[in-house]
Amino acid sequence: MRKLIPAVGLLALAGCEIPSEFLQRMETQSKYEYYEASEFWADGRSMRAPPEGSIPREAKVGNPGMTTGRINGALVSAIPVPVDKRVLLLGQKKYGIVCAQCHGVLGDGNSIVAENMGLRLPPSLLDLSSKPVGHFYAAINEGYGVMPSFSGELDTEERWAVVAYVRALQAARGTRAGAEQPLPQENR
């Protein structure tokens, strides 16, 4: 095979036509379509059921505070995973990809999308520092009002990382670079 690859490259360079069976394009290769019958399996189906005992990634197992942001219906008040630099950097990255276009890079609700949204504006997340962390987790996990759930984009760890980063944005509001304490309200 190793020897074949340069040979194919040379053929392509020379402009020769390579038969598509040879390239095994995904389009033409033999495969089953959805719901197609199969003689291979005893039950005659090509689509297989998950092995017994498999659970969906988001199944409510283990610690519900961790997976739903609520314990017995009450929003959790502490992030249930250790928050370190790695988690905050992950949160920063994911926030930038999934949330910033609406809630703004700083979390203040200033974004191009927000400027052009007619129905309901994405709120500033900085004004919500009194809300428990579970509120942010649940908003990501379940959606909030017109905002859809982002559980498909972010797994449990990434959701908590985003929550930790939102907390960091809230803490950073009104803080000068290098300052240890946030500035008093009147100096902001």
Residues that bind ligand HEC (CB under 6 A): 98-99, 101-103, 113, 120, 122-123, 125, 128, 136, 139-140, 144-147, 150, 162, 166
Q: How far is the CB of 117 from ligand HEC (least distance, A)?
A: 6
Instruction: Pick between residue 45 and residue 83 the one whose CB is nearest to ligand HEC.
Output: 83
Q: What's the rounded Cα separation, in Å, for the pair 158 and 165?
A: 10
Instruction: Pick between residue 46 and residue 98 the one whose CB is nearest to ligand HEC.
Output: 98
**Length of the chain (residues):** 188
Instruction: Pick between residue 79 and residue 125 the one whose CB is nearest to ligand HEC.
Output: 125
Instruction: Pick between residue 113 and residue 183 the one whose CB is nearest to ligand HEC.
Output: 113
Q: How far is the CB of 132 from ligand HEC (least distance, A)?
A: 11
Q: How far is the CB of 171 from ligand HEC (least distance, A)?
A: 16
What are the tokens at 80? 């249930």
Q: What's the rounded Cα separation, in Å, for the pair 104 and 184?
A: 24
Instruction: Pick between residue 45 and residue 131 the one whose CB is nearest to ligand HEC.
Output: 131
Instruction: Pick between residue 65 and residue 124 the one whose CB is nearest to ligand HEC.
Output: 124
Q: What's the rounded Cα separation, in Å, for the pair 129 and 176?
A: 18
Q: How far is the CB of 51 from ligand HEC (least distance, A)?
A: 32
The sign of the torsion formed by the CA atoms of 88, 93, 98, 99 equals positive
Q: How far is the CB of 160 from ligand HEC (least distance, A)?
A: 11
SS (H, E, C) 51-118: CCCCCCCCCCCCCHHHHHCEECCEECCCCCCCCCHHHHHHHHHHHHHHCHHHHCCCCCCCCHHHHHCC
Residue nearest to ligand HEC (CB): 145
Q: What's the rounded Cα separation, in Å, for the pair 168 and 183?
A: 15
Q: How far is the CB of 148 from ligand HEC (least distance, A)?
A: 8
